[in-house]
Structures are given as C-alpha cells and as structure tokens.
Amino acid sequence: MVDVQGLGAYSYLRVIVHSQKKRGRPVIPGRRDHLLDAALTLFAERGFHGTSIPDLAAAAGVAAGSIYRHVASKEQLVNEVYRGAKALLAAALLRAVPATAPLREQFHQLWWALIDFARSEPRAFAFLELHHHGDYLDAESRAVELRVLAPIAQVVERGRGSGVLKPLPAAALIVTVWGAFVGMVRAARAGYFTLDDDMGHHVELTAWDAIATSGSPTA
C-alpha cells in the first residue's frame, strides 16, 4: 500500500475519527464532508457559476447560511473541492506505479488505475475536466493540470530512454495517452458506449501502440 502524501488538509478523503473535544453543540459528523461531496456533484454537473449557494445547500441538506460555517466563501468551496479531487486522482496514479516492472506492465497498471478512478469517482473526474482554469481557482489550485500526470510522465521518460517508446518529445506521447483516455471516458459519459472492460482493453491497445516503438510487442 502506497503512502498517499499530499492529501494535506482534505479531511474528507480520510476516514475520520471524531475526537469530540470541543464543547457546544457538536458537529454532526459528516456535515462538512457531505457538503464537499454535494458540491463535487453539482460543480461537476453545472460548473461553478451554474451552481448557486441555495442549490448547494439543498443538495447537502442544510440551510444556505450554514454553508458558511464550513467554508468562508463559495470560491473557497470550489478550491477545496478541486484540491480534493486532484488529490484523489494523484493518489490513484501513485498507487499504480510499481517501481520495477517491464514498461508495458507499468503502462497497463497505470491505464487500469485510471479506469478504476474514472469508474469509482466519475464526479471527481468530470469535475477536474471542467475546472482547469477559471478565475475562481486560487494560485495553489491552478498550475496542476498536467503536474498530476507526473507518474505518467515518469513512465514515458523511462520508456523513451530504453527505446521501447517512440523517440518523440515526451509531451507528444503524454498528450496522446492522456487524450485517448479522457476521450474514452467522455464518450462513455456522453452515452456513446459503456466503459466496460472490453472497451477499456481496446483503447489500451490503441494507446500503447500510439507511443510504442513500431516493432514493440503490443500485449
């Protein structure tokens, strides 16, 4: 099991042990997480400006004013959600890289880790796709985009060095793989097909052939 660094303060990603140390009316355990979760859903579906505070409150099952007990502003809320989703994706990718293995095997692990992520956290995936930019993202939240793709980049670099991958600029290889993956998920979400194991496998083959040296073994 990988040690997932970088979760930082995104408490809702962890199973929370409530220490109940303060006096006063106690926090209903899941409230904040519930809010962030509802926000993830709505922001992913309608975007930041398309989601109102009353919408969020209704989805979270709280009064509108109560939201401000958990976050200071709507902007802070998106940023919190953004970083949470990003951490989730980063964790999925990190978990998938067994340090030593044939490159084709690494690629396979990575690919299916991504598919797992897209399947188990479809909202987080959709959210990240929709919110790269936007004035409401703060400096920390921005400048992520492809940085989270570092594990992929790492694998690609290794492959280029060893001659297994095409001697093209790394960026060209990465955008192809990442683009194919995103395209697949989007098409599935749009209803063009179901993202089943077969489809995942098919596109894995195309993605690998895209970047592998022509003569390399495909599977």
Give the binding site for a second copy (CB under 8 A). Answer: 24, 46-50, 63, 65, 132, 134-135, 145-146, 166, 168-169, 171-176, 178-184, 186-187, 190, 192-193, 199, 202-203, 205-207, 209-212, 214, 218
Strand partners, 165: 212
CA distance 211 to 49: 38
Pick the closer one to a second copy by CB: 12 or 48.
48
Q: Which of 40, 41, 43, 70 binds DNA (CB under 7 A)?
A: 70
Does 16 contact DNA by CB under 7 A?
Answer: no
Choose from DNA, a second copy, none: what does 74 bind? Cβ within 5-8 Å by kind. DNA
Q: Kindly state the helix (H) or strand (E) to which residue 204 belongs, with its residue range.
A: helix 197-211
Pick the closer one to DNA by CB: 31 or 95.
31
Pick the closer one to a second copy by CB: 28 or 190.
190
Q: What is the dihedral of CA 79, 80, 84, 87, to 10 degrees?
A: 60
Cβ(11)–Cβ(36) below 8 Å: no
Instruction: Give which of 155, 162, 219, 207 is closest to 183, Cα–Cα.
Output: 207
Does 166 contact DNA by CB under 7 A?
Answer: no
Choose from a second copy, DNA, none: what does 135 bind? Cβ within 5-8 Å by kind. a second copy
CA distance 107 to 11: 31
Choose from a second copy, DNA, none: what does 166 bind? Cβ within 5-8 Å by kind. a second copy
CA distance 122 to 185: 9
> x-or-dash pattern for DNA, window 126-155, by CB under 7 A?
------------------------------
Q: Kindly state the helix (H) or strand (E) to which residue 113 belongs, with its residue range.
A: helix 103-120
